[in-house]
Amino acid sequence: MSLLPRTAEEFSSAEYWEKFFKKRGEKAFEWYGDYNKLCGVLHKYIKVTDKVLVVGCGNSELSEQLYDVGYKHLMNIDISETVVTHMSQRNAERRPGLLFHQVDATQTPYEDVSYQAALDKGTLDAMASQEEGVLAGKMLTEVSRVLCVGGRYICVTLAQESVIRLAVEHFVQLGWAVRLHCLQEERGAEEEDSFALPIFVLVCTKFRQPMPMPILEMCIGDDGAPVRHTQVNELLSSVREYQAYSVLRKRLRTSTDPGSNLSLTLCHVKTGLPRYTLTVQDCPPGAKVPRSNQFAIFIVPQGSETAWLYSSVEGRKQLAASANFRRLVIVLMHRNQEYTDMQAVQSELSPVVMDLAPPGMPTNQQVPFLSVGGDLGWREDVSRGVSRLSGEYCVENVRGEDGELYRRLVFLSNVALVQSESRLVSSNTASSQRKNKKKVKTASAAVTSPPPLSVDSGFLCCAHHEVMVAGLTVLGVGMPQNKDVPVSVLLVGLGGGGLPQFLRDFVPNVSIEVVELDPVVLEVAKEWFGFRPDDHLTVTVGDGLERICALEEEGGHFFDVIMFDVDSKDSSLGMSCPPAAFVETPILQKVFDLLTAREKVKVEQSKVSKDVSFSFKNVQKIQKSDSQGNRWTPPTSFHP
């Protein structure tokens, strides 16, 4: 598998795994696997000629099976006299060279550097829970003593956090190389077992000289390519991800839940960067789904991942209902990743997505890959940078599902949200005054600086921008009798500059002051979104609330229109925009004092405080709608 799973947050807490392992109780030894499951990794690290110390052999058949395939130098030790007697009698005739001794693994009688390998199947897990890991530490010290240079400690473990950390840190301090193999359950095993956790095989190799830097590696399966980690915590985090993935896979293979909305991220095996996000959507009970429609994969075109249909819970439910499959897996592709074509994506995902199939699906079931338009869509990075206030950002060009090209500003701290969007047109269409510009022949032409495509300043990407512009009619803006009457606007929040530039280009006699908190956003708007400040379109860099207070205190400043176009970072308030402070009574009173007699304040909002009604005598609500009736739908694009 070339992708690493990164599962949901519910599996990330220590409390979750503590409860899980307690619930597992005494069933542990059913889970460590037999020779058939372990032979691939054991043969890789243990030679037939090696002297092997089997630590805590118990009544496992593993030593017997290894002996039968040629391993004749096995020394099995266990602290239990009963176990040693039983195993010795069981093998006396068939395997006379297979030795069993009653020995305490923390105090063995063997000479230093006398073994090439030490094999541990579940003993570390059992001892680590006793006396706060003291016994396990003594056992690991004894193993370190008896192994020769180049010797390997091979431990089959369920990798509970405290257990695996104790062992890894012990051998890292000794300067040994540490490698973990994750042995996933075969498909179908989940339906037979009460639980399905992956088995890990820890392999620690002794060097003549301690390594100056830790060697920490993770492999998938017995022959997977090792992925290098630089810190112990990184390695243990990878362990938790695979454990969580196994639990998630078990849940999906044994039950359906239309309301669960489970998702996981698949990362590139070499870079560790997110490559795909998969969200599972089951059909509701009672849905009439054809028997053949068991399972399908929907590939969201690049550039469309923020659309409501794919980014919201309700949208994905609607998509699944339209597709009409028992289970639909919705796949999002990530930025800064290369995807060749649809066939390549299908080939990459096919080994993984079958782990997410619904319960009872026939093994020979055909699983279709669905999409819109038959291709992967198109997205191109134009610019990247870092804002001190907002973090990393990306300016990208995308092709929408309508075939049009758009430019977007996205902050990587919240990739599901498009901060600003503008439509792109050929330079000749955008401005007939620009000469000698080459036309764009294809939608996928590369965008360079200066770009052959220009921002369409007559396009408003957001419905709330259209409504805010439409609200100007309340002031009589655009009426013949008011054609020479100046209009002053205070706009808090610049974004890509689409709204203020639209007002400047298409509202007669307008003067606009924009307040923007982030100076980087201003530079991005000017460089990539066609924002052109001038004497009638100015920008003040600073806090919007502070600017309102300063203007009100100075006096002499009056605006016909005050607009808030800023988002709230606190989703717990139930109001996505503006921040709650903008609609509290003290600020609204200052806003009121800054308005002229043609008073109007516009707020981008999902839920407005009642304080607005208390502060203004005349409050009107304008709503954009595609339906017929009294609601006015403004046009989406204007050109002079």
Q: What is the pLDDT of residue 445?
A: 38
What percent of the chain shows pLDDT beyond 90? 52
* Whether the predicted pLDDT of 169 surpasses 90: yes
Q: What is the pLDDT of residue 548?
A: 94
Least confident of 61-65, 73-77, 242-246, 445-449: 445-449
Q: What is the pLDDT of residue 597?
A: 74
Q: What is the pLDDT of residue 336?
A: 83
Rounded distance between C-alpha atoms, residue 630 and residue 12, angstroms? 51
Q: What is the pLDDT of residue 364?
A: 84
In terms of Cα–Cα distance, which of 552, 558, 629, 535 is closest to 586?
Answer: 552
Q: What is the pLDDT of residue 612?
A: 52
* Whether the predicted pLDDT of 442 surpasses 80: no
Over residues 107-126, the mean pLDDT reads: 94
Rounded distance between C-alpha atoms, residue 369 and residue 350, angstroms? 10
* Whether the predicted pLDDT of 11 surpasses 60: no
Q: 463: exposed, middle or buried (C-beta count within 10 Å: 0-12, 13-18, 19+)? A: middle
20 band by pLDDT with thresholds 50, 70 and 90: low
CA atoms within 13 A on the CB side of 419: 28
Q: What is the pLDDT of residue 126?
A: 84
Helix pair angle (161-173, 232-254), 10° resolution: 150
In the chain, what are the domain boundaries?
14-47+116-254, 263-285+292-370, 379-455, 463-615
CA atoms within 13 A on the CB side of 626: 2
Checking DSSP bridges between strand 99-102 and strand 115-121, what pairing results, if any? unpaired
Q: What is the pLDDT of residue 328?
A: 96
* Strand order through the sheet with 327-333: 3-6, 263-268, 274-282, 327-333, 295-299, 369-370
Give, for 391, the enclosing helix (H) or strand (E).
strand 391-399
Q: What is the pLDDT of residue 443?
A: 37
Q: Which tens digits make up the pLDDT trace of 372-399?
A: 877 888 888 999 999 999 899 999 999 8
Q: Which tens digits make up the pLDDT trace of 489-533?
A: 999 999 999 999 999 999 989 999 999 999 999 999 999 999 999
Q: Which tens digits make up the pLDDT trace of 271-295?
A: 878 999 999 999 988 889 998 899 9
Decide which of 279 and 365 is more confident: 279
Token pair listed for 23:
């619930």
Please list, in sequence order, all residues whose beta carbon lies within 8 angstroms of the beta carbon of residue 490, skipping any fewer than 6 positions away.
512, 513, 515, 548, 551, 559, 561, 562, 563, 594
* Whether the predicted pLDDT of 28 surpasses 60: no
Over residues 355-379, the mean pLDDT reads: 88
Q: What is the pLDDT of residue 97?
A: 93
Q: What is the pLDDT of residue 375?
A: 82
List beta partners, residue 380: 397
* Whether the predicted pLDDT of 582 surpasses 90: no
Average pLDDT, the chain: 83
DSSP string, 10-40: GG-SHHHHHHHHHHHGGGGGGSS--HHHHHH
Over residues 330-346, the mean pLDDT reads: 92
Over residues 30-39, the mean pLDDT reads: 80
Q: Which tens digits make up the pLDDT trace of 178-191?
A: 999 999 766 555 55
* Whether the predicted pLDDT of 629 surpasses 70: no
Assigned fold of 463-615? Rossmann fold (3.40.50)
User: Does residue 467 contact residue 624 with C-beta atoms inside 8 Å?
Assistant: yes
In terms of Cα–Cα distance, which of 222, 214, 215, 205 is closest to 143?
Answer: 205
User: Does residue 483 contact residue 508 with C-beta atoms inside 8 Å?
Assistant: yes
Q: Distances from the Cα of 233 to the Cαs of 165, 213, 401, 575, in angstroms?
A: 9, 15, 42, 38
Radius of gyration of the chain measured on its C-alpha atoms: 33
